[in-house]
Amino acid sequence: MILQLAMSTTATKTSTNTSTATTHHDNISKAKTKTTLYPDFQLLNVKQALTETKTRPIKPSQFQELFKTNPNDSESGGKQKLKLVHRDKVSFSNKLHNHSHVFHARMHRDVKRVASLIHRLSSGSAAKYEVENFGSDVVSGMNQGSGEYFVRIGLGSPPRSQYMVIDSGSDIVWVQCKPCTQCYHQTDPLFDPADSASFMGVSCSSAVCDRVENAGCNSGRCRYEVSYGDGSYTKGTLALETLTFGRTVVRNVAIGCGHSNRGMFVGAAGLLGLGGGSMSFMGQLSGQTGNAFSYCLVSRGTNTNGFLEFGSEAMPVGAAWIPLVRNPRAPSFYYIRLLGLGVGDTRVPISEDVFQLNELGSGGVVMDTGTAVTRFPTVAYEAFRNAFIEQTQNLPRASAVSIFDTCYNLFGFLSVRVPTVSFYFSGGPILTLPANNFLIPVDDAGTFCFAFAPSPSGLSILGNIQQEGIQISVDEANEFVGFGPNIC
């Protein structure tokens, strides 16, 4: 199994002019006790990481060029590949770009997202959860900060290109529609159903409308209305519509057509739900896609694009596969079985039970593209953090920043030697993270923080910062999740 992993070297100060060339060792290995097949330490390129914080986001007017499709890689062997871009790579305002401001805004969104997930996964019975699941999925890109990664698709006939957010925890394809009594700002013109020959409203008696608990009915059309205590909401009609992905046309996709929407979500026109429920894009097209998709996320500071592919043909050869865990109370989410955590060459002494999904549907480990920072239950996080601190005593500490309590002042360093951070999974694979995935800059002055946080509940969440740069594949049909072998 091949994944990018920086090899260890010693820390060097700027004044030494020591070369910081980095070799890369890739690694998912079989579990060992004390001895490991991966390096105990690796190199964090501080200078490069700080340079990336100064990367200017592009303007919306440059979106077309960013998402320009190359006919040679748009579709290959039956696979449809779409480009993915992080929202922080794009500027929606004329305000001066500042990495600290962008970081704090991202953490603000993240706290709301995590609170929303915990609320959804801890409330009510299975029947009640189905209602909240549909509604929360509709607005998750708005007030819960799930608008992290953008993709470009065509909507309607003829297709109107729209920037959509992907969300692995959502079960609906949703877009703002005319007439719009209240909508947030988006880059593209609002979608007008009247201009689409393929738009078809869903009747109140249809099977699609039956999937929505407490659906309303107005003039024979199926309507939904979901609201939350913080004032965020979405209201609209359900419809069947044609979606275009590059050269692939998918007809009769059930979408939410939002006519009144309020929340923090700006820029994109709507949300492409990739969750495990029947109303998600994957659930609706299980016969055509084989219930499988693969993605690779990139951070804002890089000059490359991530990707999203649909179909069983997109499942890579050579990935490290682990079982996909199902939670009947939360069918939208993709759970995986994490057994433990490692720092350096040592597995941190944490009971495996801390990460397990119990019979009541609580706890467990969820993979989520909409959450930025990985969360672990407090007892696991503290043991994990303390092990990392123990092995980084040579690095100068800094004050806590936002949700991060373990930070370092790396001003003046070219590179630093840091212990390897690893995830131990069911079945034997060990995923070793690149240094940039667990020690991240929170400003442009050299403050770096250990990019994990405690969970206020028993739920663990594998966030997108830790997923960055690693190809992740979800094979629902065979109930496996794969890591690698490709990087982006």
- Pair 27, 37: CB distance under 8 Å: yes
SS3 per-residue string spanning 236-286: EEEEEEEEEECCEEEEEEEEEEEEEEECCCCECCEEEECCCCCCCHHHHCH
Written as one string, the DSSP assignment of 437-477 is GTEEESSSSSEEEE-EEEESSS-EEE-HHHHTTEEEEEETT
CB burial class (10 A; 0-12, 13-18, 19+) of residue 464? Answer: buried
Pairing mode, strands 160-167 and 270-273: parallel
Number of helices (H) and strands (E), helices first, in the chain? 10, 33
Would you state the structure tokens that stand for residue 272, as one six-digit string?
Answer: 């492409």
Rounded CA gap, 166 and 461, in Å?
Answer: 17
The dihedral formed by the CA atoms of 122, 124, 126 and 129, expressed in degrees to the nearest 10: -70
Handedness of CA 476, 479, 485, 488 (dihedral sign): positive
Q: Is 290 left (phi over 0), alpha (psi -120 to 50) or beta?
A: left
- Pair 363, 121: CB distance under 8 Å: no
- Pair 208, 215: CB distance under 8 Å: no
Q: For residue 358, what is the enclosing H or E element?
A: none
Q: What residues contact 437, with CB distance under 8 A and at least 6 apart?
A: 421, 451, 465, 466, 467, 468, 469
- Pair 466, 432: CB distance under 8 Å: no
Active-site positions? 167, 368
Rounded CA gap, 319 and 477, in Å?
Answer: 16
Q: What residues contact 202, with CB distance under 8 A and at least 6 apart?
A: 208, 209, 221, 222, 237, 238, 239, 240, 254
